[in-house]
Amino acid sequence: MDVRTIGRRKEAVAIALAREGKGTVKINNVPVEHMQPEMRRLMVMEPLVLADDIAKVVDIEVDVRGGGPVGQAEAARQAIAHALLSFAGKGSRALRKTFDEYDRALLVSDPRRNEPHKPSRSSAGPRRHKQRSKR
């Protein structure tokens, strides 16, 4: 049984394909153990550590596009968490509760997006005004 899940964070979108296997996880065809720097690797591995038993019998391949490095890591961890939940079956309620108590961002995407720049000052940003002097 193959399961396809999606994780989103800022401009990054991660699509995870999960199937029964030996517990390998690859992100953009690179094993998660080789991911650098260590901070991002630990961030991506959080759902795998929390779902210890299920993570050992599921192979997950994640394809991440867009955004920056941290946004991609957070999108990947969300996609992995959703994939593990779908494989949990009867234990999904307990696993969902574990994920929710640890970090709600593992399951729920953040709706905030960057505000578009306004006309006539588009290079300065959406709300920046010209600096004024009092004297």
The pLDDT, as a whole number, for residue 130 is: 77
The pLDDT, as a whole number, for residue 30 is: 94
Span 3-20, pLDDT tens digits: 999 999 999 999 999 999
Taking the CB of residue 70, how many other CB atoms lie within 10 A of it? Answer: 14
pLDDT at 117 over 90: no
Angle at 98 between CA 97 and CA 104, to 5 degrees: 80
How far is Cα 48 from Cα 23, in angstroms, rounded to an integer?
9
DSSP state of 116: P
Span 53-106, pLDDT tens digits: 889 999 999 999 999 999 999 999 999 999 999 988 777 888 999 999 999 989
How far is Cα 27 from Cα 74, in angstroms, rounded to an integer?
12
* Domains of the chain, each with CATH number or no CATH: 3-106 (3.30.230.10)
The pLDDT, as a whole number, for residue 25 is: 94
